[in-house]
Amino acid sequence: MASDTLIALSAFDLAVAAGLVLLLAALSWQLHLGIARGMLIAAARSTVQLLLLGLVLKALFNTANPWLIGLLATVMLAVAGYEIMARQRHRLHGFWGYGTGTLSMFLSSFSITTLALTVLLQPAPWYTPQYSIPLLGMLLGNTMTGIAVALDNLTRQTLDKAGQIEARLALGQDASQAIGDIQRDALRSGLIPIVNAMTTAGIVSLPGMMTGQILAGSPPMDAAKYQLLILFLIAAGTGLGSMAAVLLGSKRLFDVRSRLRRDRLSG
């Protein structure tokens, strides 16, 4: 018979898990992989960030202040936008280096989160932090990855195939035709992670949200329904966000006379 009591984790439990990461970092250093330092920094960052988030969410759950919820959502969006910019080898100069990914995430993740809260889940009030913040976080995290991959693919291929694009322009094609195959490749690359996640869910992997709910004592069927909802929302958010990012990025790569502007990209 399944237990509906959540097993509390002690500091010792977390220390043992952290020790495994330290062991992996030591092995990476011994093998000269060059990722040991980054791994330790990532582990330290995740520890601090998640513990601070736990404290913030505890306060939000007690107050349910819409202004504080909006502030946290804005901070999450701003950080995700920076991470998208940081993951690109060649980024657009100026505001659009940061704004392309951030605006695309805002248009996709925030709109889909609002739709899910007001039409599907319908908590009262609709911005209840217990639902809004985790849902927005999952959408932002996955959409961020898709957009970052799509934009990196777009800018990298544009520089690699600049001669081909300019030849097409010289033959009379417009900007959208000249860069069309690159846009499609960029979109495919951005959608591959979520497509793979949906394909293997329940067979190869047990998704994180479903696992968390089962560990917390929820009935497996209810957990499966919530996980399906999240997967579909993430797929929609990733697809719409990647499309918006590729279209916005492509527009910045050409001027009003449909000339390729390589100087608008770093590197």
- 206-229 per-position pLDDT tens digit: 677 777 777 777 788 888 888 888
- Contact between 88 and 265 under an 8 Å Cβ cutoff? The reply is no
H/E run at residue 20: helix 11-30
- The C-alpha atoms of residue 257 and residue 96 are separated, in whole angstroms, by 19
In this predicted structure, the answer to whether residue 5 has a pLDDT above a threshold of 80 is: no
In this prediction, residue 73 carries a pLDDT of: 92
In this prediction, residue 3 carries a pLDDT of: 52
- 228-254 per-position pLDDT tens digit: 888 899 999 999 999 999 999 988 888
Nearest to 237 by CA among 161, 160, 140, 120: 140
In this prediction, residue 169 carries a pLDDT of: 86
Domain boundaries of the chain, sorted by first residue: 10-63, 65-264
- 251-260 per-position pLDDT tens digit: 888 888 888 8
Nearest to 132 by CA among 143, 120, 144: 120
Q: What secondary structure does DSSP assign to 177-235, as a single string?
A: HHTHHHHHHHHHHHHHHHHHHHHHBTTTB--HHHHHHHHTT--HHHHHHHHHHHHHHHH
In the DSSP assignment, the letter for residue 117 is: I
In this prediction, residue 259 carries a pLDDT of: 83
CB atoms within 10 A of CB 24: 15
Provide the pLDDT confidence category of residue 1 given band limits of 50, 70 and 90. very low
pTM of the model: 0.81
In this predicted structure, the answer to whether residue 160 has a pLDDT above a threshold of 70 is: yes
In this prediction, residue 245 carries a pLDDT of: 92
In this predicted structure, the answer to whether residue 126 has a pLDDT above a threshold of 70 is: yes
Q: How far apart are the first and last CA of the chain?
A: 60
In this predicted structure, the answer to whether residue 203 has a pLDDT above a threshold of 90 is: no
